[in-house]
Each structure stands twice: as C-alpha cells, then as structure tokens.
A and B are shown apart, each in its own frame.
Chain A
Amino acid sequence: MSAPGTPTRRSAPPAEAEQQEITRLCVSTGVVLMQHGAESALIETLMRRLGIALGVDRVEAGIFANSIVLATLCGNRSVTTVRRVEDRGINMNAVTQVQRAVLDVEEGALDAAGYRARLAAAVPAHYARWILALAIGVSCAAFARLARADLPGCAAVLAASAVAMYARLRLARLHFSPVVTFFFAAFVASSLAGLLASPVRLGAWLAWPGSATTSPVLASCVLFLVPGFPLINGVSDMVKGYTSIGLARLAYATLLAAAAAAGILLSMALRSRWGLP
C-alpha cells in the first residue's frame, strides 16, 4: 500500500471540458466539507488530492469564511471557479463519506463519473431528534456527576438539558439563527434546572427533595451549548496558517457562547426575582 496522498497516475492529460468537470468536482467537495464543519487544512488537502488524482497538474484554493475559490492548472490552461458556502451544521457523517470517496479515487477504484455519483448520493445522515435530546440529557447529567452533583441534581440536569436540546433542534429546523437558538436553549435549560433543583412538596406523601449542589447543576445543564467545533477548528486553522478563517471561526464561537451566556443571565435574573436558586 502506498503512503496517503500519493495517487495512481493517469496517462493522458485531461481535455478542456474534462478539466472543467474536475474543477467542479473539486469545488463541490470543498463545499460539502465546509458546510458540515471540516477544518480548513482538510478541505484544502482533499480538494488538491482529488484534483491531482483525477489528472490535473495543480490545484490552488483560497478558503474564506463563507466562500471557496478554486483553480485547477493543466499545462498552460487554468480554470477558476467560486462557490458560496452556507453552513449546514456539524455533520461528521457527511465529512467521512466524502473523505472515503476521495480516498477511493486516489486508489484508482473510482473515476470522475463514479465520484460525481458518490458525491450526489452522499446524504448527510442525522440521528432522530428525540434520541439526540435524550443522549444530550444523559451527557449533561454525567457532566453534573463529574462535577460532584448529587443524584436529584443529576436528574434535574437530565430533564432540563433534554428538553432544551429538543427545543434547540426544533428552532434550528425552523431556520432560526444559531444565535437565537443558543440564547433560547440556554434560557430554557437554566430555568428548568433552577426550578427542578429547588425542593417541592406535593401533598403529604409526595415530595421532590431538590438538589443541595446547585452550582454544578446550573453549570452542567448548559454545557451542550459549548461551541466545541468552531472553537477547536478555529485554533486548529490558526496554528496551521489559515489565520483569517481561524479568526472568523473563533469570533463565531465567541458569539454563540455570548448568546448562551445571555440566556443564562436572563434566567438568573428572573430566578433571583422569585427567590429560586
């Protein structure tokens, strides 16, 4: 097996129409990767490797915060194209499918037409909304436990985070801006966790003990809103030399974190108004 990044060479250089098709395939690859949250180094490397594997001499790409410019060079002929990229949310399934298709092209198992078909057939799979909400509820409860919350506190976090995650997914589906979604989800999670952490008596026999550890409970219930991908991709882009897009990603992560913080603060203000934790 050859080292990664060394394609099997083709014999004849591509004709002009063929080069245009290769250019379109390369830029579509970059667009799909960028829409679903791949880091810039991966986007650029995969576009270049695909182009070279399909027979062009060089691929030059510029990756911006919301667009991609790409040129393929073949002899003294150059084809350039630009695409706008809109965010479709983090989807590692789509990134994996595209990467595996590019690897197949490099290994010679797939030609341009086959690759186009694979790219068209790559449907980003999603987990069902309620399963995701439940998984996030359990995750945040585990966070709370790691931060030494008591068991009623963990139960409160589970319920609050699951409901808030469900609300977030519904709002995202309605095409609200992530800023609005994060603000609202943080408000819901924080308020619900605050309510559930306080003890309630329901008649003589039924009582909810509430939580004695409100600080880890209120901290953990909003952790599903940590913008992990923009943050880590931002740093990773910066250290790999993609400074401008790295800064854009970090700014976006800061914006989302600020929106979530605003939701938490509003909830705190309302809860302190009514004397809740």
Chain B
Amino acid sequence: MSTLLGFLHTAALAAVPAVGFGMAFNVPFRVLGWCALGGALGRGLRFLLIEAGLPAAWATLVAAAAVSWLGVWAAQRLRAHPKVFTVAAVIPMVPGVAMYQTLLALWQMERSGVTNELLTTALEQGLEATFIVAALAVGLAVPGLFVYRRRPVV
C-alpha cells in the first residue's frame, strides 16, 4: 500500500516539472499533456524499480527508455519528433540533490582542506549523478539504437 501511495505521489509531483520544462522548451500547448504523462511515467517507473531493488542508475536507464518508447508511440500520432517532448519528460529524473552535494563537498574541501568524509561524499554523490545523467541520455536513445536503426520514427 505504501508503495502504491509513494508511486502516485512521485508520479504526480514529477508531472509538474515535466510540464514546466516543456514550457521552457516552447513545446506546443497541445503537446504539454504528453510531457506530463512522460514525466509521471519515467519518475514513477524509476521509483518502483528502485523499490524492487534495482540500482538507481539502471532504474533510470529503464525508465528513460520507457519514456522514449512512449515518445515514439505519441510521435507517430502527433506528426512530431519524439524529442519534442521526451527531453522535458526525463528532466524530473535529473539528480539535482546529488549534483548539489558534490558541489558543496568540493567547495568545502577547497575552503577548509580535504577530509575523508568530504572526499567520500564528493566521489559517491558525483559518481551517482554522472551515472544517472548518462543513463538518462542513453535511455532516451534506446528506440533509435535497437529498433529505428535505419528508418525515421516519423
């Protein structure tokens, strides 16, 4: 039950930045709904996969690939390239807190000297952020890499 609630909470919250970023990328108004759906699907699916015990980066890869497939499906109906809304839809999965912790740790090391804890934080958080960002970008490319190899989606 708490997993279901967590899923709904995460998915609903994730739809908001997907639409916000869609607007920042000037996605046409009628396509914003797909941004919201993609954002909710991506972050919600990643939540479930992490709950099931998958590492964050692999969960992100699967979730981003799922968003990209949704993108392909919608693109053929909208006569628009999938990237038009899938980029906004994966933005809610950007590891903001990990990136911030890395920056903070680096700054503290620069200011008051390197300690074991700070170095550990910087490395762990930095690696996690890097892996998740890479997984997002590669996950989005999955349909193009495996199915739409030499033919266009739209």
Contacts and interface: CB of A to CB of B under 8 A. Distances in A.
What is the interface residue range for chain B against chain A? 35 or more
Nearest to A240: B144
Interface in B105-154: 107, 133-134, 136-138, 140-141, 144-145, 151-154
A42 B16 contact: no
Main secondary structure of the interface of B (DSSP, over half): helix
Interface in A123-150: 124-127, 131-132, 135-136, 138-140, 142-143, 145-147
Interface stretch (A8-16, A69-77, A199-207, A220-228): A220-228
B20 interface: yes
Contact of A147 (B97, B136, B153): B97
Contacts, number: 157
Contacts of B19: 135, 139
B85 interface: yes
Contacts of B38: none
B28 interface: yes
6 contacts: A3-B151, A4-B151, A38-B83, A147-B96, A228-B87, A261-B103
Interface of B: 10, 13-14, 16-17, 19-28, 31, 43, 79-81, 83-85, 87-88, 90-92, 94, 96-97, 99-101, 103-104, 107, 133-134, 136-138, 140-141, 144-145, 151-154
Given A142-B17, A228-B87, A239 B138 contact: yes
